[in-house]
């Protein structure tokens, strides 16, 4: 009866291993394969012990049985590490395997040395089967117990951590692995507390092997890279080509050969001109910058997307053995992208036209308001256009010089915003605005409110516009064009570079026009006298750094005003 138990456990575990072989996939974790081999071997060793007629025969089985105890736990531990994606030093696996190997090697000394078992155990019989008794453990057996316990504890800790901290690790798989190693652990240690005549380890190992079989059948569902790769290969839409580090051809699938027929003429382990011409430039670009690993080629009316990655053989030491190219027929996608691109281009063109129309209408509306305001002020006829032209001349000289490095958009926005600088006068009383003479101090204080009022009106009008930079420049021009470099201006009394640059430029144009233009309360000033006032104001009223641009612009400004008078 006992013998039947041992041999049935061996038979069942062997059958489970054969099923594993039948469903085996190259992407299975290597630790699963180790378990599928070790468990039947270990169960066979227990059957051999039970069938022994002498202690020497039994010791052969006893020594072999320790192979499972030494290596199953470490395999389960690294199975969990691989599943959970724990980053580890490549030497950690080597160290763990080395320790287990040393312990297993010491178990082979049973009957010859006292290092694992002290003395030679004896053979006893019960229920028609042999079992080993009088076991006296040596120092290495204690090390064996410690090692098994440590591996088990680390594995359980890793499973618990993953269960609560790693959302991307499948919970069912964690439970399966915990059950399997717990069966093995309890069977190994717990069975000996019940009886020494029958080993429960074969039953525990077989149950664990059955659970690992369920694990193997399910784990590939969670591996996106495996499932995607297999699906691509099965559909035959992706080509694979491999080369070694010296660009010698290794292999390619049929899909790749259909896409690139020249591959069928290549010789394995050889390199030729076709490889150097077609693939070597991509490899050189990839070696220079690994982010440069995707290209598109046109071939026989098809568009192929080609990507290259390193060919890694060892997942432990990450040994790069060459390069692997993936080729996907991307013709339909590219045609669709071209269709969308053309549609988007047309749509963008239509939107640009509509937007330009709206912007133009918006600008004309604001300009119309500014012109309407100017129509109320009988002292400044044509001021809006003249100051705008003055700003344009100044900006042209600033652009031509290049030392201030103003952006093209800034310059264009300033020219567009210049006509709006006096928009706030719409809020000034007609009695003041149309007064045919100089203002009293009280009237001048009311007139000064037009700067802040213009900024407020423009802020409301331009609120929500997509061109926020233009809105900011327009508001600044209206708000601060009466500020002075020395801080004596209004409405805020800003000083120096506190005044926005666009307002500093606007101030020169505004004052220059006021000087050389006729007003109801004064005659037109000569260019020489106006120039003297502007130059005297540099560093006081105006930004000193703008002086050279004014000097460069002065001939054009004078010519402009002469034409207006003719």
Exposure of 170 by Cβ count < 10 A (0-12 exposed, 13-18 middle, 19+ buried)? Answer: middle
pLDDT for 380-421, tens place per residue? 457 888 888 899 999 999 999 888 888 898 998 898 888 888
pLDDT for 189-224, tens place per residue? 665 666 667 777 788 788 878 877 777 766 655 554
First-to-last C-alpha distance (Å) of the chain:
129
Structural domains of the chain sorted by starting position, each given as residue range(s) with its CATH number in brackets = 2-222 (1.20.1070), 228-329 (3.30.450.20), 352-565 (1.10.3210.10)
pLDDT confidence tier of residue 373, bands split at 50, 70 and 90: low
pLDDT the model gives residue 551: 93
pLDDT confidence tier of residue 168, bands split at 50, 70 and 90: low
**Average pLDDT of span 414-431:** 84
pTM (two decimals)? 0.45
pLDDT the model gives residue 316: 44
Does the structure show a pLDDT above 90 at 553?
A: yes
**Average pLDDT of span 218-237:** 53
Assess contact for 259 and 299: CB atoms under 8 A. Answer: yes
Does the structure show a pLDDT above 80 at 113?
A: yes
Exposure of 143 by Cβ count < 10 A (0-12 exposed, 13-18 middle, 19+ buried)? Answer: middle
DSSP lists the bridge partners of residue 295 as 306
pLDDT for 338-354, tens place per residue? 778 777 778 777 766 76
d(CA 455, CA 459) in angstroms, rounded, equals: 6
- Candidate from 156-170, 249-263, 515-529 with smallest mean pLDDT: 156-170
d(CA 293, CA 275) in angstroms, rounded, equals: 17
Mapping DSSP onto H, E and C, the string for 198-264 reads CCCHHHHHHHHHHHHHHHHHHHHHHCHHHHHHHHHHHHCCEEEEEEECCCCEEEECHHHHHHCHHHH
- Candidate from 14-23, 194-203, 211-220, 230-239 with smallest mean pLDDT: 230-239
Helix (H) or strand (E) holding 322: strand 320-329
Does the structure show a pLDDT above 80 at 565?
A: no
Assess contact for 408 and 389: CB atoms under 8 A. Answer: no
pLDDT the model gives residue 95: 87
Does the structure show a pLDDT above 60 at 424?
A: yes
Mapping DSSP onto H, E and C, the string for 172-205 reads HHHHHHHHHHHHHHHHHHHHHHHCCCCCCHHHHH
d(CA 99, CA 76) in angstroms, rounded, equals: 15
Q: Give residues with Cβ within 8 angstroms of 79, minimum separation 6.
A: 29, 31, 32, 177
Assess contact for 304 and 296: CB atoms under 8 A. Answer: yes
Is the preceding omega at residue 350 within 30 degrees of 0, hence cis?
no
Q: Give residues with Cβ within 8 angstroms of 172, minimum separation 6.
A: 218
Which of 151-160, 280-289, 427-436 holds the top average pLDDT?
280-289
pLDDT confidence tier of residue 30, bands split at 50, 70 and 90: confident
d(CA 121, CA 47) in angstroms, rounded, equals: 18
| Angle at 331 (CA atoms; ends 329, 337), nearest 5 degrees | 130
Assess contact for 92 and 98: CB atoms under 8 A. Answer: no
**Average pLDDT of span 422-436:** 78
Cα-Cα-Cα-Cα dihedral of 25, 26, 29, 32, to 10°? 50
pLDDT the model gives residue 348: 76
> Percent of the chain at pLDDT above 90?
18
**Average pLDDT of span 221-229:** 50
pLDDT the model gives residue 505: 94
pLDDT confidence tier of residue 105, bands split at 50, 70 and 90: very high
- Candidate from 1-10, 82-91, 303-312, 459-468 with smallest mean pLDDT: 82-91
pLDDT the model gives residue 393: 93
pLDDT confidence tier of residue 317, bands split at 50, 70 and 90: very low
- Candidate from 5-9, 15-19, 252-256, 351-355 with smallest mean pLDDT: 351-355
Does the structure show a pLDDT above 70 at 114?
A: yes
**Average pLDDT of span 171-185:** 74
């Amino acid at each position: 009866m006992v013998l039947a138990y041992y041999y049935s456990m061996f038979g069942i575990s062997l059958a489970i291993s054969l099923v594993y072989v039948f469903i085996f996939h190259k992407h299975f974790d290597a630790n699963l394969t180790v378990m599928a081999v070790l468990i039947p071997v270990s169960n066979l060793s227990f059957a051999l012990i039970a069938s022994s007629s002498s202690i020497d025969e039994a010791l052969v089985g006893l020594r072999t049985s320790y192979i499972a105890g030494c290596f199953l736990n470490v395999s389960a531990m690294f199975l969990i590490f691989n599943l959970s994606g724990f980053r580890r030093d490549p030497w950690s696996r080597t160290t763990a395997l080395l320790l287990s190997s040393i312990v297993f090697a010491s178990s082979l000394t049973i009957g010859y040395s006292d290092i694992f078992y002290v003395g030679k155990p004896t053979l006893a019989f019960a229920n028609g089967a042999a079992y080993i008794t009088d076991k006296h453990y040596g120092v290495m057996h204690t090390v064996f117990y410690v090692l098994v316990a440590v591996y088990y504890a680390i594995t359980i800790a890793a499973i618990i951590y993953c269960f609560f901290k790693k959302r991307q690790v499948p919970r069912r798989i964690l439970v399966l692995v915990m059950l399997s190693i717990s069966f093995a652990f309890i069977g190994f240690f717990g069975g000996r507390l019940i009886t020494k005549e029958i080993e429960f380890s074969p039953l525990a190992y077989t149950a664990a092997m059955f659970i690992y079989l369920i694990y193997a059948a399910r784990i590939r569902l969670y591996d996106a890279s495996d499932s995607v790769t297999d699906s691509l290969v099965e559909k035959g839409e992706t080509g694979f080509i491999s080369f070694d580090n010296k660009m010698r051809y290794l292999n390619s699938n049929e899909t790749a050969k259909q896409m690139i027929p020249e591959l069928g003429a290549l010789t394995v382990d050889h390199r030729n001109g076709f490889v150097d011409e077609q693939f070597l430039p991509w490899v050189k670009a990839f070696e220079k910058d690994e982010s440069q690993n995707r290209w598109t080629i046109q071939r026989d009316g098809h568009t192929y997307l080609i990507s290259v990655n390193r060919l890694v053989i060892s997942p432990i030491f990450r040994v790069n053995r060459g390069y692997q190219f993936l080729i996907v027929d991307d013709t339909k996608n590219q045609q669709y992208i071209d269709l969308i691109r053309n549609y988007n281009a047309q749509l963008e063109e239509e939107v640009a036209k509509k937007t330009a129309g709206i912007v133009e209408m918006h600008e004309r509306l604001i300009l119309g308001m500014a012109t309407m305001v100017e129509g109320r002020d009988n002292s400044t006829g044509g001021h809006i256009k003249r100051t705008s032209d003055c700003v344009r001349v100044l900006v042209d000289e600033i652009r031509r010089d290049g030392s201030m490095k103003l952006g093209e958009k800034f310059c264009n926005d300033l020219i567009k915003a210049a006509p709006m600088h006096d928009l706030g006068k719409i809020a000034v009383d007609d009695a003041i605005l149309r007064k045919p003479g100089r203002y009293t101090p009280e009237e001048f204080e009311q007139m000064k409110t037009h700067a802040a009022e213009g900024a407020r009106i423009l802020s409301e009008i331009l609120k929500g516009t997509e061109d926020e930079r233009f809105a900011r420049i327009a508001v600044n021009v209206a708000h601060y064009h009466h500020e002075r470099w020395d801080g004596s201006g209004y409405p805020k009394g800003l000083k120096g570079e506190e005044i926005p640059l666009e307002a500093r430029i606007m101030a020169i144009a505004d004052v220059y026009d006021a000087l050389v233009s006729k007003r109801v309360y004064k005659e037109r000033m000569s260019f020489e006298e106006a120039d003297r006032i502007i130059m005297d104001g540099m560093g006081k009223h105006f930004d000193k750094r703008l002086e050279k641009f004014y000097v460069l612009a002065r001939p054009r400004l004078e010519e402009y005003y002469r034409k207006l008078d003719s």
